[in-house]
Structure 1
């Protein structure tokens, strides 16, 4: 796994050689491993071989006479040493592991074989490609868009089936690149250890917008039809309003007529009752003044029958007789 993550294939090497020693810049992604080689096929005569961190902190010690390998405590689980090639593999690199790593062969004096300047950085985040506006004119589709990643940003436009490639770079070697193909607008964000991109299918975008424009034109009704529809709706509402008003007025007249009839009937009934009472009273009075000379028993019976309130014709005929 460590071999697969060799940063020799991903990095940018800056080499400054002085005699047999060299300093090589290496960039590794956080969490990955990196293999540091001695960059030479033959080593001078030596008794001890060391890998050091900043020339002061020992990582590993190799004794040539006994072929013994000693890994120092703080690096036992973090490095692998090859006692045949003398390469050092640093595992699970973190940002705190950035710094200088030096290979030293010692006989009577120290010989710096190679020095690596290792930088540990994070992978890039995915950029964001945003369409700001687009329209179609004839056979040409124009799209304005923004390519953005972290603090870097590019504003551009797609016209006449192409766009101008653009590139911006930050001081930390983060680069934002924008370019177009016949089918895509591509926004690429990269650093020395990783890259990510976002893209938009320009053909689908332009076809979609063109279809949308055509559909809107075909589905839009003419102005005269809109006016007619409004007039018809207004007329229907007016007729409904007049009908409701007429119906309400008719109901009020019926209720008012019923009320008047009830009042008249109520006023007429007491008069009839009064008339009946008056007739009964007169009838009884007349009966009292027309007593015939008959025995008391018969007189009492006839008087009672004549004073009985009865408005039938038979009672009146008896009185007249």
Structure 2
């Protein structure tokens, strides 16, 4: 290949090259393909300024011993596939090509990779219920705690006639692992959610006052309802019996 063809190719690459960084989040243990757009010569991949792969002009590859067995080449280009990523593999991966004129390196592709493990499970517990429930009220104040391994959030909800609101709005906190812990209302339920960019775990409860009132309030309401039903039923039976009795007496008189 002539020097003019190589120069033309590199000028084309420089025009197409981009300094934009692509942000990627990967779950721990997964694989990741890093693609390179235009073809070039003398390409090398770097991880945090450490050269991990070099492609020579004849299609051969030189791999950093620390990455042997952890890099594959899925297609006949300069793309690479990183295997079984761990948190320590988080960082900046860049594909570069040497400039013929002017020295320095031209970046063909750059990825900021963040490897995250699954979030820890969450727990959603009811801390307190306003004492008004013991009197069978249809409104209540409910305090809950949304917690995970190293973080927790407490929030209070007020429910009136099965309609609830959250004091202060949605509550959130950034955990030590970089994940987010949220507690909020959605479709009438309290949600406790722990999530990062790749996984999440959540719990939910429905904080309606008839459920929050406790067994005493619920039993009292049920007892009143049962008493009303019994009284109504007995009254109805007596009325029916009276009508039948009158009808039979009239029929007996006519027959006599």
Taking structure 1 as the reference length, the TM-score comes to 0.52
Q: Which residue of 2 aligns with 1:47?
A: 41
1:100 is aligned, of 92, 95, 100, to 92
2:108 is aligned, of 107, 113, 121, to 113
Q: Output the aligned Cα RMSD.
A: 3.0
Runs of 4+ residues deviating >6 angstroms:
none
Q: Which residue of 2 aligns with 1:90?
A: 82
Structure 2 runs not aligned, ≥5 long: 1-16, 224-256
CA distance in 1, matches of 2:77, 2:216: 66
Q: Which residue of 1 aligns with 2:237?
A: none
Give the CA deviation at 1:130: 0.8
Taking structure 2 as the reference length, the TM-score comes to 0.63
Task: Considering fraction of residues, name the structure with more helix.
Answer: 1
Give the CA deviation at 1:129: 0.8
* TM-aligned CA distance change 1:210 to 1:95, over 3 Å: closer
CA distance in 1, matches of 2:77, 2:207: 52
CA distance in 2, matches of 1:114, 1:182: 44
* TM-aligned CA distance change 1:207 to 1:170, over 3 Å: closer
* TM-aligned CA distance change 1:104 to 1:143, over 3 Å: same
Is the Cα–Cα contact under 8 Å of residues 126 and 198 in structure 1 kept in the other structure?
no
Give the CA deviation at 1:150: 3.7
Is the Cα–Cα contact under 8 Å of residues 124 and 192 in structure 2 kept in the other structure?
yes
CA distance in 1, matches of 2:42, 2:186: 58
CA distance in 2, matches of 1:193, 1:199: 21
The alignment partner of 2:21 has SS state of strand
Structure 1 runs not aligned, ≥5 long: 1-18, 219-321
CA distance in 1, matches of 2:187, 2:140: 12
Is the Cα–Cα contact under 8 Å of residues 177 and 187 in structure 1 kept in the other structure?
yes
Pairing 1:1-321 to 2, within 5 Å after superposition: 20-38=18-36, 40=37, 42-43=38-39, 46-58=40-52, 60-64=53-57, 66-106=58-98, 108=100, 109=103, 110-135=105-130, 136=133, 137-160=136-159, 161-164=163-166, 165-170=170-175, 173-203=178-208, 206-207=210-211, 209=213, 211-215=215-219
Is the Cα–Cα contact under 8 Å of residues 119 and 200 in structure 2 kept in the other structure?
yes
Give the CA deviation at 1:216: 6.2
- Larger RCO: 1 or 2 (CA < 8 Å, sep 6+): 2
* TM-aligned CA distance change 1:179 to 1:84, over 3 Å: same
Work out the number of aligned pairs and report it. 194
Is the Cα–Cα contact under 8 Å of residues 69 and 83 in structure 1 kept in the other structure?
no
Is the Cα–Cα contact under 8 Å of residues 141 and 206 in structure 1 kept in the other structure?
no
* TM-aligned CA distance change 1:98 to 1:182, over 3 Å: closer
Task: Considering fraction of residues, name the structure with more strand.
Answer: 2
